[in-house]
């Protein structure tokens, strides 16, 4: 829910409730005032009747009037209590009113206000009912109701319009900052641009976000530089250990036990070295230092790679199947070679003896599927740094490097498990 | 052959010197830019192993100086920076090869041997080791007069062994030489064994002596002794 939708909802409800209360109060007040007015009229009428009776000692003649009806009725003495009542007023329609024909009656009831009183004329006790039509009062109230409803509708409309306007205008800087944040890439050198706005809150937000982004980028850069320098510095000591091992190997005859130790040492150094080279490579890819692009004939490249790997997968007795169509991409050949070689290495390494490896290259994608562990790998974790499956002797950086390379060239790398195959797919940009 | 090792890291310099010093080889060393410059201006070498980052100067400048004076020395750059730009710059300026630290001494030796071979046997592409003769241009191997059919990897292996004859070469070095460092397969060396076994078998079937010896389970030695 958008902030303004929320705000509007609350605002609208309060306004409507307020309007309804106001309408009700109006109704009560006007109704009260008008009823008082009617009551006064009725009192006047009563007074006139009483005066008339006082002087003439008989009941006045009753004329039919448009707004007033008076009725006299003989009742037992003192049985009438004077009071005002809300009653009905029977309104007679005019002789030529079309309603007479439609309803087959000569009139209709409308709300009325009455006064019940008594008069003694010629020793006779009469109950007097004076009724006046209240139809104008009802009309008035209806008008008030309509006006209130109209105002509520107008308010609603205005609120909707202003919120639209505000969303589009006032909140534009906010959305602009959001957009920048979404695009934010810590590895990119571009800074978050300064926003053109007069609103203090947004100005501040823009400043804070820019500062934060700049700091994050700076820290990241420092870290990368550190990694790069550290890796480079590692190269020399590794070179020394390596060369000393090579020299040691030339010295004397070793027994089997010493030979095994030497073997383990070589293996350890080799792993440090590969790890270090992988880290250096990652830094280079992230820094986009390998930017020489060229057309690469993927089919030929993959075929060459398969020849390179022949001894290795044959040694593991893997069954290789492949279907390669012509496909060219525009990228850095060194990195694409690493991408392919890492994927193929994984497919061999995490396979079992006598397993399968299937490669497919089409115009849309390159996929490599291999048998291996019988359950799926965790799709997100495998691409994180130093995530290793149990028993793997790899550096734990292979897939991280693959993903980074793919990101560099707008390729997407995904993992699926379709028992018994683990499938890695590189999707080419459309 | 006469070799100059320009390397400021003492331990590494000594290892290289040890490895290259053998009958018929003269190794000289320089540990900074100035001494390297003096030596390269005074003497000629079959091959100069040149580190790029040196105290007192850049190895690239030394290379430029050599080329400016038209000295024919072979140059192999050894650098701790695996940068494509450095590599291209070095090769553009006339270096014969470029090797990134860390490396195996056997790899270095094989590269240096290849450079010297290219420089000295002008046109003659025949490499001989006792009864084995190798036509480097045609990539043909003969034992006596009998042709031995080797796969490209077995051929590479044989050249590597001959360049490092009488040395123990580790399995790691062989794997990296044949498959390159991009192929991260060091967790399995069994297939190297089968390559060596095949090469040895083919050579011996053609009448060669058994030169390839396993050494302590760690490596192999190509030895005439």
- Binned at pLDDT 50, 70 and 90, residue B14 comes out as very high
CB contact under 8 A, A245 and B167: no
Size of interface A-B (CB pairs under 8 A): 137
Query: Is B162 part of the contact surface with chain A (CB cutoff 8 Å)?
Result: no
What pLDDT, on the 0 to 100 scale, is given for residue A393?
A: 65
Query: Is A241 part of the contact surface with chain B (CB cutoff 8 Å)?
Result: yes
Q: Does the pLDDT at position B23 exceed 90? A: no
CB contact under 8 A, B15 and A256: no
Tokens of A237: 């000591």
How many whole angstroms separate alpha carbon A340 and alpha carbon A349?
Answer: 14
Query: Does B171 lie in the same domain as B213?
Result: yes
| Interface mutation vs chain B, best among A230, A234, A246, most B CBs within 10 Å | A246
End-to-end CA distance of chain B: 22
- Rounded mean pLDDT of A254-276? 85
Query: For all residues of chain A together, what is the average pLDDT?
Result: 85
- Rounded mean pLDDT of A86-113? 79
pLDDT in tens, B101-114: 888 999 999 999 88
Query: Does B217 lie in the same domain as B140?
Result: yes
- Binned at pLDDT 50, 70 and 90, residue A252 comes out as confident
- Binned at pLDDT 50, 70 and 90, residue B47 comes out as very high
Q: Is the peptide bond before B102 cis (omega within 30 degrees of 0)?
A: yes
What pLDDT, on the 0 to 100 scale, is given for residue B143?
A: 87
Indicate the pTM of the whole model.
Answer: 0.65
What pLDDT, on the 0 to 100 scale, is given for residue A320?
A: 92
Which run of H or of E encompasses A84? strand A83-92
What pLDDT, on the 0 to 100 scale, is given for residue B36?
A: 93
Q: Which residue is closest to B167 within chain A, CA to CA?
A: A250
Helix runs in A63-196, H state only: 99-103, 135-165, 172-183
Q: Does the pLDDT at position A53 exceed 80? A: yes
Q: Count the Cβ atoms, other than its own, within 10 Å of residue A231.
A: 21
Q: Are strands A319-324 and A356-361 parallel, antiparallel or unpaired?
A: parallel
Domain extents for chain A? 3-167, 200-286, 294-427
Domain count, chain B: 2
Query: Is A345 part of the contact surface with chain B (CB cutoff 8 Å)?
Result: yes
Contact in structure between A382 and A372 (CB atoms under 8 Å): no
Contact in structure between B168 and B218 (CB atoms under 8 Å): yes
- Binned at pLDDT 50, 70 and 90, residue A365 comes out as very high
Q: B195 contacts in A (CB within 8 Å)?
A: 311
Phi, psi of B99 (to 5 degrees): -125, 135
CB contact under 8 A, B80 and A393: no
Query: Is B152 part of the contact surface with chain A (CB cutoff 8 Å)?
Result: no
Q: Does the pLDDT at position B90 exceed 90? A: no
What pLDDT, on the 0 to 100 scale, is given for residue A295?
A: 92
To the nearest 10°, report the CA torsion of B162, B164, B169, B173. Answer: -90
CATH number reported for the structural domain that contains residue B217 in this entry: 1.10.10.10
Which run of H or of E encompasses A418? strand A412-418
Of the two residues B11 and B191, the one the predictor is more confident about is: B11
Domain of residue B60: give its range.
2-120
Last residue of a domain, one of B120, B138, B157: B120
Q: Is the peptide bond before A413 cis (omega within 30 degrees of 0)?
A: no
Query: Does B100 lie in the same domain as B11?
Result: yes
- Rounded mean pLDDT of A104-125? 84
Bridge partner list, A71: A129
Q: Residues of chain B with pLDDT > 90: what percent? A: 29
Q: Which residue is closest to B178 within chain A, CA to CA?
A: A308
Distance from the Cα of B69 to chain A's closest Cα (Å) equals: 31
Query: For all residues of chain B together, what is the average pLDDT?
Result: 85
Q: Does the pLDDT at position A205 exceed 70? A: yes
Query: Is A254 part of the contact surface with chain B (CB cutoff 8 Å)?
Result: yes
Pick the CATH number of A294-427 from 3.30.565.10, 1.10.10.60, 3.40.50.720, 3.30.1130.10: 3.30.565.10
Query: Is A342 part of the contact surface with chain B (CB cutoff 8 Å)?
Result: yes
CB contact under 8 A, B172 and A311: no
What pLDDT, on the 0 to 100 scale, is given for residue A81?
A: 86
Query: Does B73 lie in the same domain as B33?
Result: yes
Which run of H or of E encompasses A266? helix A256-286
Distance from the Cα of A6 to chain B's closest Cα (Å) equals: 57
Tokens of B33: 């830019």
CB-based contacts of B82-87 (< 8 A; 24+ apart in sequence):
B82/A277, B82/A280, B83/A289, B84/A290, B84/A292, B84/A334, B86/B52
What pLDDT, on the 0 to 100 scale, is given for residue A148?
A: 79
What pLDDT, on the 0 to 100 scale, is given for residue A161?
A: 85
CB contact under 8 A, B171 and A238: no
Query: Is B184 part of the contact surface with chain A (CB cutoff 8 Å)?
Result: yes
- Binned at pLDDT 50, 70 and 90, residue A333 comes out as confident
What pLDDT, on the 0 to 100 scale, is given for residue B214?
A: 84
A266 → closest Cβ in B18, B187, B218: B218
Contact in structure between A62 and A87 (CB atoms under 8 Å): no
Query: Is B103 part of the contact surface with chain A (CB cutoff 8 Å)?
Result: yes
CB contact under 8 A, B102 and A235: yes
pLDDT in tens, B131-144: 888 888 888 888 88
Query: Does B106 lie in the same domain as B65?
Result: yes
Query: Is A232 part of the contact surface with chain B (CB cutoff 8 Å)?
Result: yes
- Rounded mean pLDDT of A244-269? 86
Least confident range from A104-108, A110-114, A397-401: namely: A104-108
What ipTM, to 2 d.p.? 0.85
What pLDDT, on the 0 to 100 scale, is given for residue B139?
A: 84
Q: Which of residues 386-425 of A touch B (CB under 8 A)?
A: 393-395, 398
Of the two residues A218 and A388, the one the predictor is more confident about is: A218
Query: Does B140 lie in the same domain as B102?
Result: no
The three-class DSSP label of residue A365 is strand
How many whole angstroms separate alpha carbon A282 and alpha carbon B164?
Answer: 34
Last residue of a domain, one of B86, B120, B154: B120
CATH number reported for the structural domain that contains residue B84 in this entry: 3.40.50.2300
Q: Which residue is closest to A393 within chain B, CA to CA?
A: B187
Query: Is B173 part of the contact surface with chain A (CB cutoff 8 Å)?
Result: yes
Query: Is A337 part of the contact surface with chain B (CB cutoff 8 Å)?
Result: yes
How many whole angstroms separate alpha carbon B153 and alpha carbon B178?
Answer: 7
Q: A271 contacts in B (CB within 8 Å)?
A: 186
Q: Does the pLDDT at position A104 exceed 80? A: no
- Binned at pLDDT 50, 70 and 90, residue A56 comes out as confident
pLDDT in tens, B172-195: 888 888 887 655 654 556 678 888
Q: Does the pLDDT at position B49 exceed 90? A: yes
What pLDDT, on the 0 to 100 scale, is given for residue B75?
A: 93
Query: Does B131 lie in the same domain as B116?
Result: no
Q: Which residue is closest to A277 within chain B, CA to CA?
A: B82
Q: A349 contacts in B (CB within 8 Å)?
A: 185, 187
Last residue of a domain, one of B59, B90, B120: B120
Q: A244 contacts in B (CB within 8 Å)?
A: 11, 15
Contact in structure between A113 and A39 (CB atoms under 8 Å): yes
B181 → closest Cβ in A277, A290, A395: A277
CB contact under 8 A, A270 and B217: no
Q: A232 contacts in B (CB within 8 Å)?
A: 80-81
CB contact under 8 A, A271 and B186: yes
How many whole angstroms separate alpha carbon B155 and alpha carbon B162?
Answer: 11
What pLDDT, on the 0 to 100 scale, is given for residue A387?
A: 75
- Rounded mean pLDDT of A184-194? 80
pLDDT in tens, A339-362: 998 999 889 888 888 999 999 999
Cβ within 8 Å of residue A105, ≥6 positions away: none
What pLDDT, on the 0 to 100 scale, is given for residue A244?
A: 92
CB contact under 8 A, A235 and B179: no
How many whole angstroms separate alpha carbon A222 and alpha carbon A214?
Answer: 12
Q: Does the pLDDT at position A54 exceed 90? A: no
Query: Does B143 lie in the same domain as B59?
Result: no
What pLDDT, on the 0 to 100 scale, is given for residue B183?
A: 57
């Amino acid at each position: 829910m958008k902030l303004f939708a929320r705000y509007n909802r609350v605002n609208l409800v309060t306004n409507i409730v307020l309007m309804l209360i106001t309408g009700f109060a109006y109704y009560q007040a006007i109704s009260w005032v008008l009823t008082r007015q009617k009551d006064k009229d009725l009192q006047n009428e009563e007074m006139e009747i009483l005066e008339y009776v006082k002087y003439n000692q008989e009941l006045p003649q009753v004329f039919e009037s448009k707004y007033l009806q008076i009725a006299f009725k003989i009742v037992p003495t003192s049985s009438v209590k004077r009071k005002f009542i809300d009653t009905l007023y029977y309104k007679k329609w005019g002789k030529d009113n079309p309603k007479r024909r439609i309803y087959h009656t000569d009139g209709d009831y409308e709300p009325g206000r009455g006064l019940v009183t008594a008069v003694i004329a010629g020793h006779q006790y009469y109950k007097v009912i004076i009724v006046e039509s209240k139809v104008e009062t009802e009309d008035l109230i209806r008008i008030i109701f309509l006006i209130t409803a109209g105002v509520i509708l107008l308010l609603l409309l205005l609120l909707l319009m202003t919120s639209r306007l505000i969303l589009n205008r006032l909140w534009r800087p906010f959305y602009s900052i959001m957009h920048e944040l979404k695009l934010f890439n810590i590895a990119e050198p571009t800074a978050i641009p300064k926003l053109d706005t007069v609103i203090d809150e947004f100005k501040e937000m823009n400043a804070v976000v820019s500062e934060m982004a700049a700091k994050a980028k700076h820290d990241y850069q420092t870290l990368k530089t550190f990694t790069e320098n550290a890796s480079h510095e590692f190269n020399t000591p590794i070179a020394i250990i390596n060369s000393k091992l090579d020299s040691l190997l030339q010295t004397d005859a070793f027994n089997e036990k010493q030979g095994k130790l030497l073997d383990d040492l070589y293996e350890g150094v080799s792993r440090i070295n590969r790890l270090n080279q992988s880290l250096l490579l990652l830094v280079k890819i992230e820094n986009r230092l390998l930017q020489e692009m060229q057309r690469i004939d993927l089919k030929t490249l993959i075929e060459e790679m398969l020849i390179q790997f022949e001894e290795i997968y044959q040694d593991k007795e893997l069954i290789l199947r492949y279907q390669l169509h012509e496909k060219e991409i525009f990228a850095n050949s060194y990195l694409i070679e690493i991408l392919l070689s890492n994927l193929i290495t994984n497919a061999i390494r995490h396979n079992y003896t006598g397993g399968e490896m299937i490669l497919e290259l089409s115009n849309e994608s390159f996929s490599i599927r291999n048998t291996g562990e019988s359950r799926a790998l965790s799709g997100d974790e495998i691409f994180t740094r130093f995530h290793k499956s149990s028993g793997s002797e790899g550096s734990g950086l292979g897939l991280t490097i693959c993903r980074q390379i793919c990101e560099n060239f707008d390729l997407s790398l995904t993992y699926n498990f379709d028992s018994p195959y683990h499938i890695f797919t590189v999707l080419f940009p459309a | 052959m006469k070799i100059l090792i320009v390397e400021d890291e003492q331990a590494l310099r000594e290892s290289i010197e040890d490895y290259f010093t053998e009958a018929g080889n003269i190794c000289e060393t320089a540990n900074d830019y100035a001494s390297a410059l003096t030596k390269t201006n005074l003497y000629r070498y079959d091959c100069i192993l040149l580190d790029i980052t040196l105290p007192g100067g850049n190895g690239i400048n030394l290379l430029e100086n050599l080329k400016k004076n038209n000295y024919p020395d072979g140059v192999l750059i050894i650098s701790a920076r695996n940068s494509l730009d450095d590599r291209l710059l070095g090769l553009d300026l006339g270096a014969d090869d470029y090797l990134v630290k860390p490396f195996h001494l056997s790899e270095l030796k094989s590269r240096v041997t290849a450079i010297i071979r290219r420089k000295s046997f002008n046109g003659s592409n025949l490499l001989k080791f006792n009864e084995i003769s190798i036509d480097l241009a045609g990539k043909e191997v003969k034992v006596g007069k009998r042709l031995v059919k080797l796969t490209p990897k077995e051929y590479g292996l044989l050249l590597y062994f001959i360049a490092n004859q009488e040395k123990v070469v580790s399995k790691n070095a062989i794997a990296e030489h044949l498959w390159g460092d991009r192929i991260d397969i060091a967790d399995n060396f069994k297939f190297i064994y089968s390559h060596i076994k095949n090469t040895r078998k083919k050579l011996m079937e053609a009448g060669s002596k058994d030169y390839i010896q396993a050494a302590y389970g760690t490596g192999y030695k190509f030895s005439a002794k």
